[in-house]
Structure 1
Amino acid sequence: MFLFKRNFTQRGMQNFSAHAKKSLLGITCVGKQDGGGAQVHAVMSALLFSRVTGIPYFHSPFRRVEHGRDAEAFAAEWEAAFNLGFSKPCVPHGVPTISAGAFNQEYRGVPAVVAEQHFHNFAERHLGMYPALAEELRARLLLPQRTFERPTIAVHIRRGDVVGNPAAAQRLTSNATALDNIKRVLADRPGHRVVVFSQGEPSDFGTLAEFCEFELNSDIFATVSGMIAADCLIMAKSSLSYVAGLLSKGAVYYEPFWHGPIPSWHVLPRAGAAHARSPVSFAAPALTALRLRSRRSKPWD
Structure 2
Amino acid sequence: MRLAKSLVKAAIGRKPLFYAEDRFFLAYLRHRLGISRAGITCRLDDCPTEGGGSQALMMMIVIDFARTLGLDYFHSPFMAIQHADRPQEAWLAAWEGLFNFGHGEVRADAANREVFAATAINFDSIRSLFGELRPYNNHDTHVIPQFSAASIGEFRRKYHANKSPRTNQRLTVCVHLRRFNRFDNNVDYVAPFSRVARTLAEVRTVLDAKGIEYAVHLFSQGHLSELPETLRNGVELHLDSDPIQSLEELVEADVLLTSRGSFSYVAGLLCDGIVICEPFYPPQSNWLVCDDDGGIDAGRLTNRLNAILRVL
TM-score (norm 1): 0.70
Q: Which amino acid in the other structure matches residue 84 of structure 1?
A: F
Instruction: Confirm or deny that 1:156 pairs with 2:173.
Output: no
Aligned to 1:136: 157
Is contact 1:237-1:255 (8 Å) kept?
yes
Q: CA RMSD in A?
A: 3.3
The residue type equivalent to 2:91 in the other structure is F
How far apart in 1 are the matches of 2:187 and 2:127? 37
Separation in 2, partners of 1:204, 1:129: 41
Deviation at 1:200, TM superposition (A): 1.5
Contact preservation (8 Å) 1:128, 1:263:
no
Residues of 1 paired with 2:218 and 2:205: CA distance?
A: 17
Amino acid in structure 2 at the alignment position of 1:220: P
CA distance in 1, matches of 2:66, 2:252: 27
Measure how far apart 1:188 and its partner are.
2.9
Which 5+ residue runs of structure 2 have no aligned equivalent? 5-24, 130-139, 295-312
Q: CA deviation at 1:85?
A: 0.4
Identify which of structures 1 and 2 has the higher relative contact order when contacts are C-alpha pairs closer than 8 Å and 6+ apart: 1
Structure 2: how far apart are the matches of 1:252 and 1:211? 21
Q: From the superposition, tell whether residues 177 and 130 of structure 1 become closer, same or farther in structure 2 (CA, over 3 Å).
A: farther
Corresponding residue number in structure 2 for 1:36: 52
User: Residue 101 of structure 2 aligns with which residue?
Assistant: 84
Equivalent pair of 1:157/1:197 in contact (CA under 8 Å): yes
Deviation at 1:80, TM superposition (A): 1.9
CA offsets, 1:167-223, max 9 Å, x none? 231110221111111012223322432211111222211122223221111111110
* More helix by percentage: 2
Greater Rg over alpha carbons, structure: 2
Q: Distance in 2 between matches of 1:18 and 1:95?
A: 13
Percent identity for Structure 1 against Structure 2:
30
1:267 aligned partner: 289
Contact 2:180/2:190 (8 A) holds in 1 = no
For the 8 Å contact 2:101–2:155, the answer to whether it is kept is no
**Residue 255 of structure 1 aligns to which amino acid in structure 2?**
E
Instruction: Rate the CA distance shift 1:24–1:217 in 2: closer, same or farther, 3 A.
Output: same
Tell me, in whole angstroms, the C-alpha distance in 2 between the residues paired with 1:182 and 1:19. 49
1:60 aligns with 2:76: yes
Secondary structure at the counterpart of residue 27 of structure 1: strand
Aligned pair in 2 of structure 1 residues 129, 86: CA closer, same or farther (>3 Å)? closer
Question: Normalising by the residue count of structure 2, what TM-score does the alignment of the two structures yield?
Answer: 0.67
Unmatched 5+ stretches in structure 1: 4-12, 106-117, 273-301
Count of residues in correspondence between the two structures: 244
SS of the residue corresponding to residue 193 of structure 1 reads strand
- Written as runs of structure 1 = structure 2, the 5 A alignment for 1:148-187 is 148-159=168-179, 161=181, 167-187=185-205
Tell me the equivalent position of 1:233.
256
